[in-house]
Amino acid sequence: LFTDDGSGTIKENLVDELDYVLVPSESWDLLVQWYGTVDKNTAIPRQVVEFGFFVKQCRVEVYFLELRLCKNFNLETEILHKFSKGDTIGNIKKTMRKLYEIPDEVETRIWRCHSSTEIDELAKEESTAQDTGLYHNQLLVIETRSEDGSWVRQTKKMPGTCRTATTVSDKSSTAGPSSIMTTRFNPYGYPSESRSAPGLCGLCNLGNTCFMNSVLQCMSNCPPITKYFLNEEHFSELNEENPLGMKGEIAKAFGELIKTMWSGRHSYTMPHNFKLQVGRFAPQFSGYQQHDAQELLTFLLDGLHEDLNRIKKKPYIELQDASGRPDKDVAKEAWDNYRKRNDSVIVDFFHGLLKSTVVCPDCSKVSITFDPFCYLSLPLPTKRERALEVLLFHYEATQKPTHYTVIVPKRSLIKDLVTNVGQLSGIQPDNLIVTEVTRNHFHKFFSSNDSLEKIDDKDKIYIYEMPVQNDTHVILPVYLWESSAKIGFSREQLFGDPLLIAAPRKNCTYDVLYQLVLHKLQRNICIPDDNSSWWNTKTKNYSNGGKYYLHIIWFATLIKFPLTTSKIFIMLSMTNLTLNEDSPGDENDESCSDNGDCNGERVPRRIFSFYLVTSGADCSQDIVKIHNDGNPLSFPKHIGQSFVAAKWTREARDQFFFDKSLEDTEDDQKHCFVSTLSFVHLCRYCPTCKKHQQATKKFDLWELPRILIIHLKRFVFDRYRRDKVDRMVQYPVRGLNMSEYVINKSHPEAVYDLIGVCNHFGGLGGGHYTASCQNHNDHKWYLFDDNSVSEIKEQAVV
């Protein structure tokens, strides 16, 4: 929650109930009493503050208002300090006197700086910071009175000019204009000598207000709206008595801002007055937290419409049902009725008409209405499923591993994955074990209720078929380990795919385990040539009955190599049919050497030996060699973090092991497609059935506005989490033909050219807004990034 500088400052753009939870002080005290805290200073107290001017709303003030303070217009004394929006000007003044150690007998006054050329005095000490319209990073100056009764502002002479704002109080107006400001005293105001083309005026970020700036730039580049406000037509149409409006303040503030942006005298300006008026009538936008640009645009369009509504007294109109009448007649009636109550420049250019069709599932009654809209909010076609690449290892080692592309819901569980794999492969889902493999070992074993969100697209998911019972068999992870030096076990020495062996809990000797592992590896075994040095080993005990030779021939047929006398020796060793001694082919073995005698008798060589590796909670590993003493091996009920390492020498691996990896798999890719529904379901009262029904509702476009706003819903919310859809959307800059989507046959051709795009970069919890707009004077495209304006190519817009 805090920044890394150790100042105890809360990070920007934190989201309530996503990054933190607000609790009453009583609840906090109980939580501390029950569970304690990591640090005594972890409590973050916040107060409830009343937001808004005309519309009051109480909210917890998470972020304070940070102001820049200085004394006597000397920026070298500048201090950053945070205040509550509920703090009065008197409290701020008292704090500033304390910070600058001003004696009680010295008279002071507070000035608010709007720009290098405009300041005003904050004389009403009972007003709050919010009522006064103070904004983030604004500069306040505390001025002291000299012993001779003069103010510093009257005596201090510096290059430059500064005028007192028209809103200055009577007390300060006697001071008159003064030359106390310099270019250096201009944090972000109006650069008087920096001119730009009309409309190419940036907007300063007042503190997380990039969402507002991008919306204002898009609205500013709508030619009919800009012309309307530049010609000051809005003054004659202000409806200050509209109870649904904003007393005309939103329209006046917006018009004032448009005139400044299109005056050509400023390269950037500060929309602080507009921000103040928005916060007064829409408390959700007060303060300096990041908000959704679409929500502000909705408020702005509605506010401008009501402030400029030409209908002073709205008549009562009773809505009529369609009753089987032609759509054309019902639509005209609905639009005429709407215009009798709503008539403004916003309706003229931004409002269209939707046809809504509702069907009752029981009586099939069809209800048709026509509703106005001022923007189209389109959900992006998100992938509610994900494709998981998995590799299935069959229980029968003679079968090739099968590669599947399984389509599963994003929010599903492991049991849903195994169900799909079971359907594709014909294997019982209960017999499938899902694992994640990393660097030749098992990184994780998944349980049936684990979420698929724990699996990344880059993870290697191996699924093993194990048609055995836990009470009769134990599932042993077996890793292939190459080690030629006298060092401990290391995962860096593993090779090949890990194995899952179903070993019987009773009578599982060393030889049985060896045969099980060898059986699983048969598709990876490559028999060396006859002239290989490996075949130099001789043995006497190789003719112990025909059944052994049948077993050898069976195994040789599986791995498809010709039998020779020398190879029969190694097969006897591999199947462990004649061995009674532990004789691994490992220079580290204690019992026998590669070619030496054991009890005076030469024995065949094994290609690997076994070790039991147990991992501790502290990441330590205990390695124990498994000896072949002929006795059954004992296994714990639960293997836990233990596994069996089959240790190979470099010679054995080079001679016998062939890593087929994924090149020898069978592909069985299944793809599912989710159809897009044209209807939505809603609970609606049916007048025919006399009860609420789960009716279906369908929207169609009937009448499109002259300026069409398309909102792409990139933020999605569900019961699990909030997320942003980062899917690329292709759209034309010119010639977007919407005619094919309009069901009104008499609708004129609806072809649109793009004039503005509101861009969002980042995620749900934070990010940045910019705007790409076309200037209607030179028809060039520009990127508006707060106070920065730069020309861009048309190709960069999309």
What pLDDT is recorded for position 575?
A: 41
Q: Is residue 264 part of a domain?
A: no
Say yes or no: 26 and 125 in one domain.
Answer: no
Q: Is residue 654 part of a domain?
A: yes
Whether the CB-CB separation of 46 and 22 falls below 8 Å is answered with yes
Say yes or no: 41 and 71 in one domain.
Answer: no
Q: Is residue 533 part of a domain?
A: yes
pLDDT, tens digit (0-9, with 9 covering 90-100), for 146-172: 888 888 776 544 333 343 433 333 333
What pLDDT is recorded for position 239?
A: 93
Whether the CB-CB separation of 132 and 93 falls below 8 Å is answered with no
Say yes or no: 22 and 77 in one domain.
Answer: no
How many Å apart are CA 721 and CA 732, to the nearest integer? 32
What amino acid positions are annotated as catalytic residues? 210, 768
What pLDDT is recorded for position 520?
A: 85
Say yes or no: 2 and 143 in one domain.
Answer: no
Say yes or no: 483 and 605 in one domain.
Answer: yes
Write out residues in the chain with pLDDT < 70, as ranges.
Answer: 40-41, 51-56, 115-118, 154-194, 381-384, 484-492, 528-605, 615-621, 636-640, 659-682, 716-723, 727, 764-765
Domain hosting 564: range is 470-660
> Dihedral sign, CA of 554, 556, 561, 562?
negative
Q: Indicate yes or no: pTM above 0.85.
A: no
Say yes or no: 40 and 86 in one domain.
Answer: no
Q: Is residue 736 part of a domain?
A: no
What pLDDT is recorded for position 556?
A: 43
Residue 712: how many other CB atoms lie within 10 Å: 17
Cα dist. 373→340, 349, 370, 410, 702 in Å?
A: 16, 11, 10, 33, 11
How many Å apart are CA 720 and CA 702, to the nearest integer? 36
What pLDDT is recorded for position 517?
A: 87
Domain stop point among 625, 660, 695: 660
Total domains in the fold of the chain: 3
Domain stop point among 632, 660, 688: 660
The torsion angles phi and psi of 726, rounded to 5 degrees, stand at -100, 25
What pLDDT is recorded for position 75?
A: 86
Say yes or no: 2 and 131 in one domain.
Answer: no
> Dihedral sign, CA of 582, 587, 589, 590?
positive
Domain stop point among 615, 638, 660: 660
Residue 58: how many other CB atoms lie within 10 Å: 10
Domain harbouring 146, CATH code: 3.10.20.90
How many Å apart are CA 410 and CA 456, to the nearest integer? 11
